[in-house]
Amino acid sequence: MKRSARPVRLAILLLAGLGLSACATPPAATRAEAPARPAWALVIHGGAGVMDRETMGPETEASYRAAMQAALARGRAVLDTGGTSLEAVIAVVRGLEDDPRFNAGKGAVFTADGRNELDAAIMDGATLKAGAVAGITGTKNPITLARAVMEKSPHVMLIGAGAEKFGQQAGVEQADAAWFFTERRWQSLKKTLKEKGLPVPARPAGVGPEPVPLAAADMPFEDRKYGTVGVVALDNAGHVAAGTSTGGTTAKLWGRVGDVPIIGAGTYANDKSCAVSATGTGEYFIRLGVARAICDLVELKGMSLQQAADEVIQARLTALGGDGGIVAVTPDGQVAWSFNTSGMYRARQVAGGEPLVGIFKGEP
């Protein structure tokens, strides 16, 4: 029995009425084409605070710009060769922890008791696994210990002596007090304690006597910046990760811990939204849950990464009276930073693009 052609003719007429042919694809103008995701992306910070060219000086400015370029190079070397975002985070943060210019690891600020107490955290956006440590005094690279907590323990956060013991059992490299010591940070501690009318503790063992006279490089300075270091990364597989490390605040008391090791406050990563690393007055970042708040705005409100970052930093944090900034990246390759201070050491690069380094507000 011959099949009627009427249904076919009706379909063709309907398509013609819509301005389409039976075999045509929609015109290019009607197709929403998402921009191609870069193979990888990397965003780094080295602390935010009061920074201006006049007081910083050209040599110091050039030194910090070179340090941020070197940090980008370490992360780029991992991501360009197919390494994971987690590996890139570790490579970048370890290097910054070993750089005495930054308040993390070697060169960290001193507590009122004359110790370096270090905090760090890392998070894998693919698995939501995280590791954090606080009050660390004998681990050379706290970010490595944070990773060990994530990968070799059933816990998310370990603190103080227990964290140190775990690190020793896990084979994490240790260091004595002399490794973290820098004369300039020590002189800053002395200056701060004298201003507060507090006693100055004995110099740490193994660092030798105080030089007399002090060299210009050892003179105390007004520490009006937050030297926390951090990085967020996107790898070739589309996974994001975040890591942050800090020495806290000069002359801190009572075992104070800031936002860095608090997952969701100073550090957060999720492949469904974004990865964020923060720097600033930690108490405010904890109260606002800054890192997680930015990612929630991206995932639940559909905001662009930059819009979400500015909403939390420029609006919410500023309204609460807090100061600082963040760096962030999404799984689709958006990168952003936002800060409400006069400066933030920062750098970013995406695959195929040029590196971008900034310090002061108003730079790209």
Catalytic residues: 228
Please write down the HEC assignment for all residues of the chain: CCCCCHHHHHHHHHHHHCCCCCCCCCCHHHCCCCCCCCCCEEEEEEEEECCCHHHHCHHHHHHHHHHHHHHHHHHHHHHHCCCCHHHHHHHHHHHHHCCCCCCCCCCCCCCCCCCCCEEEEEEECCCCCEEEEEEECCECCHHHHHHHHHHHCCCCEEEHHHHHHHHHHCCCCECCHHHHCCHHHHHHHHHHHHHHCCCCCCCCCCCCCCCCCCCHHHCCCCCCEECCEEEEEECCCCCEEEEEEECCCCCCCCCCCCCCCCECCCEEECCCCCEEEEEECHHHHHHHCHHHHHHHHHHHHCCCHHHHHHHHHHHHHHHHCCCEEEEEECCCCCEEEEECCCEEEEEEEECCCCCEEEEECCCC
Please give the single-letter amino acid code of residue 278: A
d(CA 335, CA 348): 8
